Structure 1
């Protein structure tokens, strides 16, 4: 173990113990009170108003997330009900080729978003990620609006996922759903209140299960398609010819086929939701300037491959007009993989898929809790939420934020009086809209960073992580995100398809974000940050003052075993 002593810009002396590349920070405070209020003032006075990693984050949060954790957290968030249960609906709406193109389009947007996030997060690895970046690069009111939107979205996401778990258990048992709701509220709370490394290990395990199941289902689908199951004929690309590669949606002809492809976008966005949250706990991640960009680069590729292969295989083994896709029970029975496996006489598949989808839903609720609590903590650092949310446990967990979020989990009991799947499918539209707002924020942050560096004459090569093509790709991806957001509920505007619930769930996020932005701007009188005034040089100096240790390259069998996250 090597021990060194450093002094940071806030004047604190830190002892840094390096053990096999892991850094454990211990602060030595001299004559400083430890109340949340005093710490907040110290943070804001010494850390550029909370724009950089603050005194509070270094002192009170624990760096318990390793590189393998954040890689798998992002994968775990993106592989869930959207993949296991939602692909059938996408095939119905857009046809095999329309669905494939829809997921590929959103996958490319995710690629740009991930690289944009990696570039900004490597420069500013702060709790709350792109919410704090928005205040630094755009406008404090914009950061507040985005942060409030994420907190609100995650407050609703956790109970919605728990309500979905109730439906999934109904596949096996008639036990009162209140039992499952109570159990999973307790489990989610325990994970949220524990050391963040425990959350990382749980997500690592669940992600591994999901990846193994996806590999298995893709191989199974390929075997079924090629006629490898006794008694089953070879399918090939039969369903691409009849009923055809595209499905007409609302309209007819080429326009109807295009609308089918475009309607898949919302489902695809919902499916990819979660990949942007890997940087939310940057201040709790070891060596974030190296590990977060690395995760951003590799996670998108793995997730995109999983989805593109899965959509391709599903489009080959299930016809878009198959009546079995009309099963909206919400359990494994509606999965296209289960439909085909059951027809082939493989009885164990439905229960296996149902079990993994349950872990997926719980994994999503854990991730929503982490994201919501860390954004709330970040808002409190900036003085945009009550100071009580800055309180942390001895494990470095913002426990008041966790308790606040837990109170909203009891909304899951609405599933007892309303259709749990009705609640869950509303979430698809609500989540997709919220995710598109978040992606747009990430892209706008990146565009502003590029513009500020150009204005100040700073080369992008000075960034800890940069790519030559991202300044051109971010504006295109931002346009696509806004276009999908504004047209997400287009079906409700067509003749005979008006549905108030669908309209509200598709567009509620837009007025909420605008209202929060205008409210904070009027109350605080904030202004858009001048490009010339953004302290890019100071941020780069922070990077040079606190270099991260070089990564040890794995060799031999260890490299093979860790290929998913290393």
Structure 2
């Protein structure tokens, strides 16, 4: 099978035979069986939709209550900078190697085949579980309005998710485009309403301004007292923020199904980060201005709009429809998250099959380019959502979900390692990095710094369970078992297959770059003038 991968017989990384003809580092299967149906607006808005999820709508209040308004703002800004480094690192590697599975295949080609195997199967396993967990969340959200049997909602969204998954990739892109617009409209509307309320623009509502930054204060001590307690509060916000930003690393998972990936991915990476950072920072600022950190409602978690920090922040404005609007958009957000998990997971499973690390059955595609065999495994896994109907079964189910609780930090670390090794390969082979399809002079440094902090946060994300009186087996599993899982799979595959770290001098950079330069991509057309007033989100 033609592939860009580690070849066991001579430990070399080779390019596919058709590379010189196509200019893309794709296997014959990808080139022949997948269809390029995702345009720039699809990719940009999918990335936005993936990053603005239920974590922002429902869980932001927890960050305010443990870190305080300033601690939360600084925490989200700090993680935003790490996300920026991850996005730019992923963008540089993905524009050179726009392949299915993104950083999973990059790990195979640039770092170590065992790392690609371990990371790939961890993602597949995690996304198998995340889809039913999102559907279970949808049932809880509908419980805000109606007492209809939850099994009806489970079945409805299993069918809807399957219809999207089996359809053309372009239809998936259009659906996610619409769902992303809904999220953005909600966030922008609530930010404006919150600012107007905080600044005294609502009749009969007292101007608050930054009052709550003074009392109860900008920081909240967490676990300990004094400066150390305030720092721990800030650090707990970092961990919450990481999981709020999860999904942004999947921007290039379907690179082989994008039109003009070398033009689309850099734009999406640059612009999506700016939009997401803007929305998150303003959202944290507004909630921190209007709702005091000691408000007991922030620590509650009903799983519906009733305890959403956005609803609490805008309640003073007296708009009774807001809780219902928030609940409706959160339902679409949960469905969108499930759709994106299915897309990412099925494409990773397809890429594992390309490398012979999963059954070849998963290479089968429909005539319109959907890897139906891989998708089917996810549709079947979505029936695990029915476990939510049993109190004992749901406990077991969420234990399984906890196994991949810190997978996002492992994925970010892998993205950064791939980028660092790619830039080292350019230096070892004496090739000018300006020949990369997308190049930034500062990214080698930002990737190194971001990798350091990703590892530190990964190792400390369960720090609370080690403090006096807070030990929890489930908390420890959520925080750390995924690290052991990836390590065991990595070492097991490495020992069984005797894989070696890819030699930097053996990565066929000159061959790949020559093919790209021989067949440059067409420029992406801008949106028609009637759409320019909103197309700034993706153009």
TM over 0.5: yes
Give the conservation status (yes or no) of the 8 Å contact 1:128–1:280: yes
Q: What whole-Å deviation, never above 9, does each CA across 1:340-397 have from its counterpart, x for those lacking one?
A: 3334422100000000000000000000000000000001001110000000001100
> Are 2:218 and 1:206 aligned?
no
Give the distance between the partners of 2:285 and 2:396, measured in 1 at CA. Answer: 29
User: CA shift at 1:552, angstroms?
Assistant: 3.3
With over 3 angstroms needed to count, the CA separation of the structure-2 counterparts of 1:151 and 1:234, relative to structure 1, is same
1:81 matches 2:67:
no
2:349 equivalent among 376, 393, 396: 376
**Corresponding position of 2:479:** 506
Which of 501, 506, 519 is the aligned partner of 1:528? 501
Q: Deviations over 1:266-308 (max 9, x none)?
A: 2111111111111000000000011011111111110001000
- The match for 2:126 among 153, 172, 178 is 153
Q: Relative contact order (C-alpha < 8 Å, sep 6+): which is higher?
A: 2
| SS at 1:513 equivalent | helix
1:66 to 10, 14, 39: 39
Q: Which residue of 1 aligns with 2:428?
A: 455
Match of 2:102 in 1: 129
Q: Secondary structure at the match of 1:353?
A: helix
Q: 2:459 aligns with which of 463, 486, 490?
A: 486
1:168 and 2:137 matched: no
Deviations 1:508-528 (A, max 9, x none): 210111111111111111000
Instruction: Report the Cα distance in structure 2 between the residues aligned to 1:398 and 1:378, rounded to whole angstroms.
Output: 10
Aligned counterpart for 1:324 among listed residues 293, 297, 301: 297
Mapped to 2, the partners of 1:44 and 1:382 lie a distance apart of 13
Identify the residue that residue 46 of structure 1 maps to in structure 2.
Answer: 17
CA distance in 2, matches of 1:281, 1:211: 23
Structure 1 partner of 2:11? none
* Deviation, structure 1 residue 539: 1.5
- Structure 2 regions of 5+ residues with no counterpart? 4-13
Q: Deviations over 1:206-234 (max 9, x none)?
A: 00000000000100110110122222100
Quote how far apart the aligned CAs of 1:246 are. Answer: 0.3
Q: Counterparts of 1:359 and 1:345 in 2: how far apart (Å)? A: 24
The alpha-carbon distance between structure 1 residues 323 and 270, as it changes in their structure 2 partners (threshold 3 A), is: same
Pick aligned residue for 2:444 from 456, 466, 471: 471
Which SS does the other structure have where 1:476 is aligned? helix
| Aligned match of 1:195 | 168
Aligned to 1:275: 248
Aligned length: 524
- In the TM superposition, structure 1's runs of 4+ consecutive aligned residues that sit over 2 Å from their partners are 43-48, 340-345, 418-432, 550-561
Task: Give distance in 1, aligned partners of 2:18 and 2:227.
Answer: 56
1:410 lines up with 2:383 in the alignment: yes
Partner of 1:305: 278
In structure 2, C-alpha distance between the alignment counterparts of 1:456 and 1:476, rounded to whole Å: 24
With structure 1 as the length reference, what TM-score do the two structures score? 0.89
Shift of 1:428: 9.0
| Structure 1: gaps (5+ residues) | 1-8, 11-42
Contact 1:269–1:432 at 8 Å: present in 2 too?
Answer: no
| Cα pair 1:147 1:379 within 8 Å, conserved | yes
Structure 2 counterparts to residues 229-248 of structure 1, below 5 A: 229-248=202-221
Q: Does 1:90 align with 2:63?
A: yes
Task: Report the TM-score when normalising by structure 2.
Answer: 0.94
SS at match of 1:221: helix
Q: Is the 8 A contact 2:108 2:115 kept in 1?
A: yes
Kindly state the Cα deviation for residue 561 of structure 1 after the two structures are TM-superposed: 3.3
Give 2:538's aligned residue. Answer: 565
